Protein backbone atom coordinates (compact mmCIF):
# COMPACT_ATOMS: atom_id res chain seq x y z
CA UNK A 1 0.00 0.00 0.00
CA UNK A 2 1.52 3.31 -1.13
CA UNK A 3 0.35 5.85 1.45
CA UNK A 4 0.74 9.57 0.78
CA UNK A 5 1.51 12.25 3.36
CA UNK A 6 -1.48 14.43 2.47
CA UNK A 7 -3.88 11.89 3.96
CA UNK A 8 -2.43 12.08 7.47
CA UNK A 9 -1.92 14.74 10.10
CA UNK A 10 1.52 15.47 11.55
CA UNK A 11 1.01 13.33 14.71
CA UNK A 12 0.18 10.31 12.52
CA UNK A 13 3.28 10.83 10.40
CA UNK A 14 5.60 11.41 13.36
CA UNK A 15 4.26 8.33 15.17
CA UNK A 16 4.82 6.24 12.05
CA UNK A 17 8.41 7.42 11.71
CA UNK A 18 9.17 6.81 15.39
CA UNK A 19 7.73 3.28 15.42
CA UNK A 20 9.37 2.35 12.11
CA UNK A 21 12.70 3.84 13.19
CA UNK A 22 12.67 1.91 16.45
CA UNK A 23 11.84 -1.36 14.68
CA UNK A 24 14.57 -0.82 12.09
CA UNK A 25 17.12 0.06 14.77
CA UNK A 26 16.32 -3.19 16.58
CA UNK A 27 16.51 -5.16 13.34
CA UNK A 28 19.87 -3.63 12.42
CA UNK A 29 21.26 -4.57 15.83
CA UNK A 30 20.25 -8.21 15.34
CA UNK A 31 22.02 -8.65 12.00
CA UNK A 32 25.51 -10.21 12.34
CA UNK A 33 27.00 -7.88 9.74
CA UNK A 34 30.57 -9.19 9.92
CA UNK A 35 29.57 -12.86 9.83
CA UNK A 36 27.24 -12.88 6.82
CA UNK A 37 28.32 -15.35 4.14
CA UNK A 38 28.44 -14.41 0.46
CA UNK A 39 25.39 -16.59 -0.28
CA UNK A 40 23.40 -14.74 2.39
CA UNK A 41 24.34 -11.35 0.96
CA UNK A 42 23.57 -12.46 -2.59
CA UNK A 43 20.11 -13.76 -1.74
CA UNK A 44 19.27 -10.78 0.48
CA UNK A 45 20.33 -8.07 -1.97
CA UNK A 46 19.06 -9.94 -5.01
CA UNK A 47 15.61 -10.53 -3.51
CA UNK A 48 15.39 -6.89 -2.42
CA UNK A 49 16.11 -5.64 -5.95
CA UNK A 50 13.59 -8.06 -7.48
CA UNK A 51 10.89 -6.92 -5.04
CA UNK A 52 11.62 -3.27 -5.87
CA UNK A 53 11.15 -4.07 -9.56
CA UNK A 54 7.89 -5.92 -8.85
CA UNK A 55 6.58 -2.89 -6.97
CA UNK A 56 6.81 -0.88 -10.18
CA UNK A 57 4.10 -3.10 -11.70
CA UNK A 58 1.23 -1.43 -9.89
CA UNK A 59 -2.30 -0.27 -10.54
CA UNK A 60 -3.27 2.94 -8.78
CA UNK A 61 -6.99 3.64 -8.51
CA UNK A 62 -6.90 6.56 -6.08
CA UNK A 63 -4.08 8.61 -4.53
CA UNK A 64 -2.59 6.39 -1.84
CA UNK A 65 -4.51 3.33 -3.03
CA UNK A 66 -2.38 1.13 -5.28
CA UNK A 67 -2.24 -2.60 -5.92
CA UNK A 68 0.98 -4.52 -6.43
CA UNK A 69 2.67 -7.68 -5.21
CA UNK A 70 4.15 -7.31 -1.75
CA UNK A 71 7.09 -9.72 -1.52
CA UNK A 72 7.60 -9.30 2.23
CA UNK A 73 6.90 -12.95 3.04
CA UNK A 74 9.35 -14.15 0.40
CA UNK A 75 12.07 -11.81 1.68
CA UNK A 76 11.42 -12.89 5.28
CA UNK A 77 11.86 -16.55 4.38
CA UNK A 78 14.91 -15.88 2.22
CA UNK A 79 16.77 -13.48 4.52
CA UNK A 80 15.13 -13.87 7.93
CA UNK A 81 12.83 -11.29 9.55
CA UNK A 82 15.46 -8.75 10.61
CA UNK A 83 17.22 -8.48 7.26
CA UNK A 84 13.82 -8.56 5.54
CA UNK A 85 12.72 -5.49 7.51
CA UNK A 86 15.82 -3.63 6.39
CA UNK A 87 15.41 -4.84 2.82
CA UNK A 88 11.78 -3.73 2.69
CA UNK A 89 12.85 -0.31 3.99
CA UNK A 90 15.22 -0.06 1.02
CA UNK A 91 12.35 -1.05 -1.30
CA UNK A 92 10.12 1.67 0.14
CA UNK A 93 12.87 4.29 -0.21
CA UNK A 94 13.48 3.26 -3.81
CA UNK A 95 9.76 3.48 -4.53
CA UNK A 96 9.45 6.86 -2.79
CA UNK A 97 12.18 8.32 -5.01
CA UNK A 98 9.61 8.23 -7.81
CA UNK A 99 6.77 9.64 -5.69
CA UNK A 100 7.71 12.84 -3.76
CA UNK A 101 4.44 12.81 -1.81
CA UNK A 102 5.33 9.50 -0.15
CA UNK A 103 8.32 10.64 1.93
CA UNK A 104 6.39 11.93 4.93
CA UNK A 105 4.30 8.76 5.16
CA UNK A 106 7.23 6.39 4.72
CA UNK A 107 7.10 5.31 8.36
CA UNK A 108 3.44 4.35 8.18
CA UNK A 109 3.97 2.63 4.84
CA UNK A 110 6.83 0.59 6.30
CA UNK A 111 4.71 -0.52 9.27
CA UNK A 112 2.01 -1.76 6.89
CA UNK A 113 4.08 -3.18 4.04
CA UNK A 114 7.07 -4.50 6.01
CA UNK A 115 6.54 -4.53 9.76
CA UNK A 116 3.21 -6.34 9.78
CA UNK A 117 3.97 -8.96 7.06
CA UNK A 118 7.43 -9.83 8.40
CA UNK A 119 6.06 -10.21 11.92
CA UNK A 120 3.17 -12.38 10.74
CA UNK A 121 5.43 -14.56 8.57
CA UNK A 122 8.04 -15.08 11.29
CA UNK A 123 5.40 -15.97 13.89
CA UNK A 124 3.72 -18.46 11.55
CA UNK A 125 7.12 -20.02 10.92
CA UNK A 126 7.69 -20.46 14.67
CA UNK A 127 4.20 -21.93 15.17
CA UNK A 128 4.66 -24.34 12.26
CA UNK A 129 7.99 -25.57 13.62
CA UNK A 130 6.50 -26.15 17.07
CA UNK A 131 3.15 -27.69 16.21
CA UNK A 132 3.33 -29.14 12.68
CA UNK A 133 5.38 -32.02 11.28
CA UNK A 134 8.93 -31.18 10.21
CA UNK A 135 8.10 -31.63 6.55
CA UNK A 136 9.27 -29.98 3.35
CA UNK A 137 5.70 -29.50 2.12
CA UNK A 138 4.58 -27.99 5.42
CA UNK A 139 7.30 -25.37 5.02
CA UNK A 140 6.29 -24.52 1.46
CA UNK A 141 2.51 -24.54 1.81
CA UNK A 142 2.18 -23.14 5.33
CA UNK A 143 5.11 -20.73 5.47
CA UNK A 144 5.23 -19.93 1.76
CA UNK A 145 1.78 -19.97 0.19
CA UNK A 146 -0.42 -19.44 3.26
CA UNK A 147 1.78 -16.85 4.98
CA UNK A 148 2.03 -14.78 1.79
CA UNK A 149 -1.73 -14.70 1.30
CA UNK A 150 -2.37 -13.86 4.96
CA UNK A 151 0.23 -11.10 4.81
CA UNK A 152 -1.45 -9.47 1.83
CA UNK A 153 -4.91 -9.72 3.40
CA UNK A 154 -3.69 -8.41 6.75
CA UNK A 155 -1.82 -5.52 5.19
CA UNK A 156 -4.84 -4.54 3.12
CA UNK A 157 -7.16 -4.68 6.11
CA UNK A 158 -4.78 -2.69 8.34
CA UNK A 159 -4.29 -0.13 5.58
CA UNK A 160 -8.01 0.35 5.09
CA UNK A 161 -8.52 0.76 8.85
CA UNK A 162 -5.69 3.30 9.00
CA UNK A 163 -7.05 5.34 6.09
CA UNK A 164 -10.54 5.24 7.57
CA UNK A 165 -9.31 6.41 10.99
CA UNK A 166 -7.34 9.23 9.36
CA UNK A 167 -10.44 10.30 7.40
CA UNK A 168 -8.65 9.94 4.06
CA UNK A 169 -11.52 8.04 2.42
CA UNK A 170 -15.04 7.00 3.47
CA UNK A 171 -15.12 3.59 5.19
CA UNK A 172 -17.72 2.33 2.70
CA UNK A 173 -15.36 2.99 -0.20
CA UNK A 174 -12.42 1.34 1.58
CA UNK A 175 -14.10 -1.81 2.88
CA UNK A 176 -16.72 -2.45 0.22
CA UNK A 177 -14.94 -1.41 -2.96
CA UNK A 178 -11.24 -1.38 -2.17
CA UNK A 179 -10.49 -4.17 0.30
CA UNK A 180 -12.00 -7.01 -1.81
CA UNK A 181 -9.22 -6.42 -4.34
CA UNK A 182 -6.66 -7.18 -1.65
CA UNK A 183 -8.39 -10.48 -1.09
CA UNK A 184 -7.95 -11.22 -4.79
CA UNK A 185 -4.33 -10.04 -4.69
CA UNK A 186 -3.63 -12.57 -1.94
CA UNK A 187 -3.76 -15.44 -4.44
CA UNK A 188 -1.09 -14.23 -6.89
CA UNK A 189 1.00 -13.19 -3.89
CA UNK A 190 0.75 -16.72 -2.48
CA UNK A 191 1.43 -18.39 -5.84
CA UNK A 192 4.44 -16.19 -6.65
CA UNK A 193 5.97 -16.61 -3.20
CA UNK A 194 5.37 -20.35 -3.01
CA UNK A 195 6.66 -21.00 -6.53
CA UNK A 196 9.88 -19.07 -6.06
CA UNK A 197 10.51 -20.57 -2.62
CA UNK A 198 10.06 -24.04 -4.11
CA UNK A 199 12.67 -23.34 -6.78
CA UNK A 200 15.10 -21.82 -4.30
CA UNK A 201 14.76 -24.66 -1.78
CA UNK A 202 15.37 -27.24 -4.52
CA UNK A 203 18.22 -25.56 -6.41
CA UNK A 204 19.70 -22.97 -4.00
CA UNK A 205 18.80 -23.95 -0.41
CA UNK A 206 21.82 -22.00 0.85
CA UNK A 207 20.02 -18.84 -0.27
CA UNK A 208 17.03 -19.48 2.04
CA UNK A 209 17.94 -18.54 5.59
CA UNK A 210 14.83 -20.07 7.18
CA UNK A 211 15.14 -23.46 5.48
CA UNK A 212 17.21 -26.07 7.30
CA UNK A 213 17.88 -29.40 5.56
CA UNK A 214 18.60 -31.11 8.87
CA UNK A 215 15.23 -30.04 10.26
CA UNK A 216 12.91 -30.50 7.26
CA UNK A 217 14.50 -33.37 5.33
CA UNK A 218 16.56 -35.47 7.76
CA UNK A 219 14.55 -35.19 10.96
CA UNK A 220 12.48 -38.26 11.76
Over the stretch 126-151, which tens digit does the pLDDT of each residue have?
999 888 888 888 899 999 999 999 99
Angle CA 183–188–193, to nearest 5: 120
Give the helix/strand (H/E) hosting 112.
none
Report d(CA 113, CA 154) in Å as an integer. Answer: 10
- For the segment 104-131, what is each residue's pLDDT rounded down to a tens digit? 899 999 999 999 999 999 999 999 988 8
Look up the domain containing 124 and give its range.
5-216
Q: What is the 3-state secondary structure (H, E, C) of 119-182?
A: HHHHHHHHHHHHHCCCCHHHHHHHHHHHHHHHHHHHHHHHHHHHHHHHCCCCHHHHHHHHHHHH
pLDDT of 53 higher than 90: yes
Q: What is the CATH number of the domain that holds 20?
A: 1.10.1760.20
Q: How many domains does the chain have?
A: 1
**Global confidence as pTM:** 0.93
Amino acid sequence: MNLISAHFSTPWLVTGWLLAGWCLWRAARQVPWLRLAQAELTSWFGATVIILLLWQLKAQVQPGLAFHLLGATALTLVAGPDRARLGMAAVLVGDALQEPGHWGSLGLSWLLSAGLPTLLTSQLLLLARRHLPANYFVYLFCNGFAAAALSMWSMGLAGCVLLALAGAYPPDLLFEEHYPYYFLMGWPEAFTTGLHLTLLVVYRPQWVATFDDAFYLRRR
